Structure 1
């Protein structure tokens, strides 16, 4: 008997645990009553669900609370692309048959038109047409709207996860065999063979309203040639036409059926996708044969858009359009939102090891990835969540954390009975008797493995440090891995003849072949390494992993210092709260762009949580003092990611004609606890040094008792 499929809530709980938050709202709904009596109401429910980086809500209401929660969970699963295992066929043949059935169901089941499925939005636009075009949609719309179709394609051919063209091929061939549907032989259109009933059409048109007024949407054209600049494109949507027709015009595709669509990019709640024209290929209607074949003598790999492929994690061909347009379960009309250069560079930033740290603090120019972790001062997403986000954005498997318990009795490790004999043992026993209950005889260490989607290990980290709490071991190990990746990515952005990738360094074991295979697209986009062939970038040689101390700038020149000296200065280990603004200023003072500001921004001094110049400025000020300083210009990518609506204006500005100015005020300084100061300034901590000294001295004296 087949196993019952887990509920959507169960699947989410299995993946995210306590991070899933449901908010159920009770709504009073009028029901039919008897004439002459007071109107009667009943309670119905709607549900909102929150996950890290995702918020969804049910479009309608439900009679039972649990139904509303399950509906919200299902929407979240669809957005995240997660399918319950029990619902996934186990063989390519089973998946192929189910794919045929599913495509057929979209068109022969008239009840489908009354659903909230996004594909109905595409259909409703085409149902307003007349003649042969009525009800005809591009095949790529099916793959863009339906998670289950994508999942089935991946079972049929695992390479489909990374290639929208391969998905289109599989959908096209399956549609050819689907009963009740008609597929064009010359283009990639699909429609129902029979006309829909007027009742079904009315339901669809009521649920999905059309675009009555013209709408202008900004998008970004990502050229296939790396040297070509990004371009801002404006798409005018009007006359209730299918939006993919206008996209096809911008891509110079023959029609919208030749427009392919990537998976959603960025946050799971967004509808940002890449649109590109299908290359000149033909499909083979047999899953046992090659699915794609290139017309003529051209090489399809030469058409790969490396920048677009890198940000999407899929193979994108030719020029691509990055746009936020589409139909969702949340809306009853076409969803549109502008995409500008800031959007593009924030997507790029999210793929960097420190990018989500900056964005989770909403401080792209000020925040840095700290070099140490503490529950007392860490702000924003935790190191573990940051590492998981980084792996997801790079299309790697979730990180594997293996926590082990280590016996770490301080005296046993410092003075073993084998070396000191029975007298020393008796001293240990006396010390153990007076040890406080708060001390734990065990500590924890954590190993981390980073694997590809094929579960091939590309990086392993084994921590030599131990921690008193399991959570601290996980967070500190995750931070070490993030810092390693951060150093590696900074190396990629440095012009040098060789890209160093040492196999073993500082507790890390790297598998170069697997590693470079997974980051080949990243290397090609950031390819300032002097290597034309990514396979040549496996040179050995370490890079610095000194994460305990960062270079401290003490020469930041302050101007416009205001406020009296309160005598309370930030010191190493103190938690400092500041307000600041970061402005992009033209040297001729003609224009000044406010890029970033915070009324309250907290960080710990000495952990590298902010840039060196900002920390230097803060340590020169006392509480309630303010000052300005000119900072070194960050990379262009960071400036445009922080620029928001100014991104287009700043994209054409020369670096020589501007500077970055910070205005900072120290609001509050919280001195660290004594034990935290001790750990920050002394390694090992003084308490441990004192105990070790005492044990050593006792054993040198061969003492058998302790004085009272």
Structure 2
């Protein structure tokens, strides 16, 4: 079967309307008020003054923070709104991007925006009131960079207004702005050469966040594989700069030494890794490679686990936290990151882990080895797993088979099973229980003599606990009231399948096993401190209770 290659043409970005641009910049802070205007027409007869009602027209008033514009009259409401938005764009000096930008154009656009914020040529004492208002609008906007600038301007002393270079992301942009920016010797922070207007700083100090202390749960990932990941608590007030707190937690001199990774997980997630800047973190042109990418020379211990999560080289300990400024709110956004979430994120980076998470059965479910029928499959389909897990299929024969539409689901399963290079990063191999086998098996209840076989779809309830022998310690780590799976395709861990195949409906089975791994236990359980204590015991058992409900 021949296949034709089609050249993929990237769709162009649609041109935004003026109203869409205003919404993009101001969101809910833009208020449109449309009023009806009735024109009075005069008759054409001399000496007669008989008023007549003309066509109904509309005028729009657009209210933005500290800026209001009124449109001309139009026959349609939407035309009046678009006209008001267009007038506001013109007054604000917003340049809409009507075409797809090349990398060079995007870079120049970024440089222009940074130059506007840090321009040294602006004498704020004599500059126009309008531009001062625009600066104030930006500083109180929902833009993430505005949040960082506000936080640095609230600081006192020498660190007031010092912005860590890592929050701007594109390092090369700052190399073209030496006339506007003061850059540290190690090029890890920047600030405006001329000070911001004092009234702006005073207003920021007055409207700053609450002094009340907030606590944000985060995870420390040590660079040494001999050390376990551990939960840490970031304590701060909303008036403090959160990067200062993270720098202190990492034992760094100040926030300028903290680098920020890209988003971890979904694009909408604010979870990131925070880590120390390498010694060679310089902006000198000699550190920029010919392809335009920044290159660094790392000294120290590479953090393998942090690198696995982020996909970038990280040296030293790292803090995994969900905190930062977003476009959704002016306030600091934060959510707790737990040890359980950390291990679930690790699971989500493997096909088998994605399948386990989709079934919410981390300790029992396994990615099936083959696809028999859609009616027998439970959990995420192979194609959905492949969409979540970007994988390169190297087999040309397999690729042709997928293109031909033959056994697509089985081909996708085979592709995932061929990819053995990516494995979960276990917490600590010494905590894993490698003793093989199921023992102390007890099956209770009436035996009907009908047991499930290959191809059957039994539905069971089960619970898994951690128990320390000779001590009154038991912790339930996973419970499932209804878990259905197909026998004979590897959809469940082998020892559970072996036990279920000996049971009939209505019976109960109890057995112990030492086949659970610590990464799955931490991903399933809630209390990580208690799990660490239990896993360190030499007399640890994992009792499993299984009860078949139905099978077909």
TM, length-normalised to structure 1: 0.55
Question: Residue 550 of structure 1 aligns with which residue?
Answer: none
Question: Residue 254 of structure 1 aligns with which residue?
Answer: 253
Query: In 2, distance between residues paired with 1:306 and 1:230?
Result: 12
CA drift of 1:259 comes to 0.6
Question: Residue 628 of structure 1 aligns with which residue?
Answer: 510
Query: In 1, distance between residues paired with 2:458 and 2:247?
Result: 53
Q: Please give the residue correspondences for 1:28-43 in structure 2 after superposition, counting only pairs within 5 Å.
A: none
Question: Residue 413 of structure 1 aligns with which residue?
Answer: none
Q: Is the 8 A contact 1:624 1:665 kept in 2?
A: yes
Would the alpha carbon gap of residues 666 and 382 (structure 1) be closer, same or farther in structure 2, given more than 3 Å must change?
A: same
Q: Please give the residue correspondences for 1:392-471 in structure 2 after superposition, counting only pairs within 5 Å.
A: 399=391, 449-450=392-393, 459-460=394-395, 462-463=397-398
Secondary structure of 1:360's match?
A: helix
Query: In 2, distance between residues paired with 1:293 and 1:608?
Result: 45
1:482 aligns with 2:416: yes
CA drift of 1:480 comes to 0.4
Question: Residue 137 of structure 1 aligns with which residue?
Answer: 163
1:112 aligns with 2:123: no
1:5 aligns with 2:10: no
Q: Is the 8 A contact 2:466 2:476 kept in 1?
A: yes
CA drift of 1:289 comes to 5.5
Q: Is the 8 A contact 1:187 1:258 kept in 2?
A: no
TM, length-normalised to structure 2: 0.69
Would the alpha carbon gap of residues 268 and 559 (structure 1) be closer, same or farther in structure 2, given more than 3 Å must change?
A: farther
Question: Residue 531 of structure 2 aligns with which residue?
Answer: 650
Q: Deviations over 1:191-250 (max 9, x none)?
A: 4445258579869987xx724321222322222233333343332113621011011112
Would the alpha carbon gap of residues 211 and 335 (structure 1) be closer, same or farther in structure 2, given more than 3 Å must change?
A: farther
Question: Residue 307 of structure 2 aligns with which residue?
Answer: 309
Question: Residue 320 of structure 2 aligns with which residue?
Answer: 322
Question: Residue 364 of structure 2 aligns with which residue?
Answer: 366
Secondary structure of 1:651's match?
A: helix
Q: Deviations over 1:621-659 (max 9, x none)?
A: 222332222233322222222222x22222243363211
TM-align CA RMSD: 4.2
Give the stretch that moved more between structures: 475-484 or 624-633.
Answer: 624-633
Q: Please give the residue correspondences for 1:253-652 in structure 2 after superposition, counting only pairs within 5 Å.
A: 253-281=252-280, 283-286=282-285, 300-373=298-371, 374-391=373-390, 399=391, 449-450=392-393, 459-460=394-395, 462-463=397-398, 473-486=407-420, 558-559=441-442, 561-562=444-445, 564-565=446-447, 569-644=451-526, 646-652=527-533
Gap regions ≥5 residues in structure 2:
1-9, 17-30, 36-76, 82-96, 120-133, 431-435
Query: In 2, distance between residues paired with 1:249 and 1:483?
Result: 43
Q: Please give the residue correspondences for 1:89-108 in structure 2 after superposition, counting only pairs within 5 Å.
A: 89-91=102-104, 94-105=105-116
Q: Deviations over 1:236-287 (max 9, x none)?
A: 1136210110111121222101110111213334322111111222524438
Gap regions ≥5 residues in structure 1:
9-28, 34-62, 68-83, 144-148, 150-168, 392-398, 400-448, 451-458, 494-521, 529-552, 672-708
Would the alpha carbon gap of residues 335 and 586 (structure 1) be closer, same or farther in structure 2, given more than 3 Å must change?
A: farther
CA drift of 1:32 comes to 11
Would the alpha carbon gap of residues 345 and 554 (structure 1) be closer, same or farther in structure 2, given more than 3 Å must change?
A: closer
Q: Is the 8 A contact 1:211 1:333 kept in 2?
A: no
1:124 aligns with 2:124: no
Would the alpha carbon gap of residues 384 and 211 (structure 1) be closer, same or farther in structure 2, given more than 3 Å must change?
A: farther
Q: Deviations over 1:75-110 (max 9, x none)?
A: xxxxxxxxx99634245xx45423312333555652
1:188 aligns with 2:188: yes
Q: Is the 8 A contact 1:555 1:616 kept in 2?
A: no
Query: In 2, distance between residues paired with 1:125 and 1:332?
Result: 11
Query: In 2, distance between residues paired with 1:578 and 1:85?
Result: 58
1:217 aligns with 2:216: yes
Query: In 1, distance between residues paired with 2:440 and 2:530?
Result: 29
Query: In 2, distance between residues paired with 1:203 and 1:474?
Result: 59
Q: Is the 8 A contact 1:99 1:174 kept in 2?
A: no
Query: In 1, distance between residues paired with 2:14 and 2:231?
Result: 45
Q: Is the 8 A contact 2:264 2:272 kept in 1?
A: yes
Query: In 1, distance between residues paired with 2:327 and 2:238?
Result: 23
Would the alpha carbon gap of residues 640 and 300 (structure 1) be closer, same or farther in structure 2, given more than 3 Å must change?
A: same
Query: In 2, distance between residues paired with 1:217 and 1:566?
Result: 55
CA drift of 1:344 comes to 2.6
Secondary structure of 2:529's match?
A: helix
Q: Is the 8 A contact 2:508 2:546 kept in 1?
A: yes
Q: Is the 8 A contact 1:283 1:292 kept in 2?
A: no
Q: Deviations over 1:136-155 (max 9, x none)?
A: 43221222xxxxx5xxxxxx
Q: Is the 8 A contact 1:106 1:112 kept in 2?
A: no
